[in-house]
């Protein structure tokens, strides 16, 4: 050992990394794929068939009809968005990040990083140059419903779940409380409602139903609020229980639905800032109202 030559910061432990004589640089290449021996049984063979093969029991044909909204995006909206969001000779704008300690003192080891500069605790994302490669697209739509009465009667999640499945034609998942909230009599693990995450055809079908049938029939609806948005390109709107009656699947046998509840609709886009997301969503016949506040970093 040539321990006398090492001039690193003094560690607290005798076995700190700098003082070690040698370390292995050969990465282990065996057992990269983890498996259990019973996975190799012949009876497990059907589960190895990929989902897109008609031999699989999970097979569902994907492309069975035209996707109007996707074609509209590709034919019309994408090229317009490229022109609208273009800024000549722009550069990447770095967000504010947490600040690491320099490491010159041994007391810096394991010390948590400082929060970002300014009056904020959470780091912000970088805004990259807008090119043809990162055009904003609608990634998914989340429809979620919370029911207060589930606290007292847990079985009230059932009509909520059925309603969401009817209007989105996708199987919903339940939402559970993550922590105790004593003022609402809510405890961890209780059912609060249901949600659906839509993508692909189910998403575009839902959006076209929303923009062509449901929203035009709501008398008070002026448009999605321009203040809506979480700052990173996700826009949300809310529907009341009366608004949901305009969905054709609900309206067809409206007398059956004695109790409906409202829902939140969150449109997740890949836009880096909210103004870009609003421009994109307005291309699907979804109007916006109110004054728009442009963030300082766009």
Partner 1 sequence: MNKFGLSNFVRPSIFRSHCLGSIKTPTSVSTFVRFARTSAKKKNRGELSASQVRQKNLLSAVSGARKVPRKLDMCVEDLIRHNTVTRAWALYQKEIRDKRAQNLERQYRMIDEACDALKSAGDRNLYNKATKREFGKRFPMELRVPTDTPPKIVWQYEWSPEEKEKK
Binding site for partner 1 (CB under 8 A): 52, 54-57, 59-60, 63, 66, 68-69, 71-72, 74, 76-80, 82-89, 131-132, 135, 153-155, 158-159, 161-162, 165, 171-172, 208, 275, 278-279, 282-285, 287-288, 292, 294, 298
Of 265 and 280, the one with the shorter C-beta distance to partner 1 is 280
Q: Shortest approach of partner 1 to residue 89 CB, angstroms? A: 8
Q: Shortest approach of partner 1 to residue 298 CB, angstroms? A: 7
> CA geometry: angle at 225 spanning 130 and 87, to 5°?
15
Q: Shortest approach of partner 1 to residue 94 CB, angstroms? A: 19
CB hemisphere CA count around 253 (13 angstroms): 4
Of 123 and 159, the one with the shorter C-beta distance to partner 1 is 159
Phi/psi at 241 (5° precision): -65, -35
C-alpha 114/C-alpha 155 separation (Å) is 46
Q: Shortest approach of partner 1 to residue 214 CB, angstroms? A: 15
Of 36 and 133, the one with the shorter C-beta distance to partner 1 is 133
C-alpha 217/C-alpha 237 separation (Å) is 16
Of 76 and 227, the one with the shorter C-beta distance to partner 1 is 76
Nearest CA-CA partner of 141 in 163, 158, 162, 164: 164
Of 81 and 266, the one with the shorter C-beta distance to partner 1 is 81
Query: Which pair of tokens denotes residue 274?
Result: 């909210």
CB atoms within 10 A of CB 128: 14
């Amino acid at each position: 050992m040539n321990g006398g030559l090492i001039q690193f910061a003094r560690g607290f432990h005798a076995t700190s990394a700098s003082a070690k004589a040698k370390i292995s640089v050969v990465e282990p290449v065996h057992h990269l794929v983890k498996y259990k021996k019973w996975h190799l049984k012949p009876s497990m063979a059907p589960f190895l068939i990929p989902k897109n093969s008609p031999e699989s029991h999970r097979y569902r044909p994907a492309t069975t009809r035209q996707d109007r909204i996707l074609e509209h995006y590709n034919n019309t909206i994408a090229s317009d968005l490229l022109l609208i969001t273009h800024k000549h000779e722009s550069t990447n704008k770095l967000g504010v990040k947490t600040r690491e300690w320099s490491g010159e003192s041994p007391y810096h080891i394991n010390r948590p990083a400082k929060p970002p500069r300014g009056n904020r605790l959470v780091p912000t994302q970088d805004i990259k140059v807008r090119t043809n490669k990162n055009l904003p697209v609608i990634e998914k739509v989340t429809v979620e419903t919370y029911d207060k009465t589930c606290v007292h009667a847990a079985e009230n999640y059932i009509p909520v779940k059925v309603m969401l499945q009817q209007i989105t034609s996708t199987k919903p998942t339940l939402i559970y409380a993550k922590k105790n909230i004593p003022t609402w009599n809510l405890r961890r693990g209780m059912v609060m409602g249901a949600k659906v995450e839509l993508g692909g055809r189910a998403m575009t079908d839902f959006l076209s139903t929303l923009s062509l049938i449901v929203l035009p029939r709501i008398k008070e609806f002026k448009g999605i609020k321009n203040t809506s948005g979480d700052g990173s390109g996700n826009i949300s709107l809310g529907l009341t229980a009366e608004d949901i009656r305009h969905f054709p699947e609900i309206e067809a046998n409206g007398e059956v639905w004695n109790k409906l509840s409202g829902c939140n609709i969150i449109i997740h886009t890949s836009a880096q800032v909210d103004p870009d997301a609003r421009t994109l969503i307005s291309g699907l016949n979804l109007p916006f109202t109110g004054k728009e506040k442009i963030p300082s970093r766009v």
